[in-house]
Each structure stands twice: as structure tokens, then as C-alpha cells.
Amino acid sequence: MIWDSENDRGSDCVLKATFSSPSGFRNRQNMARIGCELAITTIALVLLAAAALKINSLSTRAAMGITGAKSGLELAAVLGEVLLATWLISGFARNWARASGVLLFAVFSIISLKHWIAGDLNCGCFGEVTVHPAWTTGFDIVAVLTLIKFGRRPIRDDGNVTASGLLSYLITTAHTA
């Protein structure tokens, strides 16, 4: 890395970092790609955690004999969360996966905001685990913004197996076993 200055006068000196070789630019691209994958994988893992906690809640209620239309809708929501999380992690049709994630988290943010305004202490987003709607609203909005930001930048797929692709394979295998 080479440091350049625009002028040589004391505090007016402005330093600029320029890379002396093209490999510096590639490293920056790799870091951006890793950051993007890490952010999207984190969002997907939160979705999977929420789904697992909701499944636990649903199974507890089913064991107590509490069933109904609401349980069916919740089960459909859980299935949707698992599918979207797996899709986001897999990297398949990334733009569509991220667009679907933006829509889902936008809906989640509206629902959790409704619970927050109503004064509820729990939105039910994580099953029986109590999480204040303010936290889930914040997370949902950050997820929307993250998916929008990383959705604007196409990521080259060089055909290599990524950690997120491997994780997606393991999750899918675990759910079907």
C-alpha cells in the first residue's frame, strides 16, 4: 500500500490509500463478498432459530391438545421461514432470494411494530421465548436494509463451494433425515 499526500503542509495534509497492485483490489472484493455472505447467513440463521423455537411452541401446544386454524397458519409460517433461510444460505437465484427476504422482513417489521405500538411485551416471533417487539422491529428493519444493500451488488459465482452453500446442504439434509 502506498500513502499519497495532496499537499505537505502540516494539518492540511490529506492522506489517501492507493493500492500498488491489483491484488489489493481483489482482496477488497473478497472482503466485501465475505461480509455479504456473513450478513445474509446471519439473517438466515436468525430465521432458522425463530422457526425452531416456533416448532417447539407448536409441538408443546399440540401435546396439550391445543390445535386449530391458527396452528396451521403458524406451521405454514415456520415452513416459509425454513425455506427462505435455506434459500438465502444456498446462494441459488440470489437476487430472487434477497427480494423474497426483503418482502418477508418488511411484513415482519409491520407485524412487530404493530405489537410494539399496542404495548405488547412479546410479539411471539420466537415462539415461547419472550422478545420485546422493539428488538424484533429493529432487527427486521436492519434485515430489510441489509438485503437491499447487498442485493444491489451482484456477486460473482466462481463455482467454488462456499461455507454458506455447505451449511445449506447440511440444513436441508438434517430436515429431510
CB atoms within 10 A of CB 28: 11
> Is pLDDT above 60 for 106?
yes
CB neighbour list of residue 36: distance below 8 Å, 6 or more residues apart? 150, 153, 155
The residue whose grid cell reads 481483489 is: 26
Q: Is the pLDDT of residue 105 over 90?
A: yes
What is the pTM (predicted TM-score) of this model? 0.67
- Average pLDDT (124-139) is 92
CA gap 89, 150 in Å, rounded: 14
What is the average pLDDT across 151-169?
A: 51
Q: Are 97 and 87 in contact (CB under 8 A)?
A: yes
pLDDT for position 173: 54
Strands (E), the chain: 2-5, 15-18
CA distances to 1, 19, 25 from 14, rounded to whole Å, are 16, 16, 21
Lowest mean pLDDT among 12-16, 88-92, 122-126, 157-161: 12-16
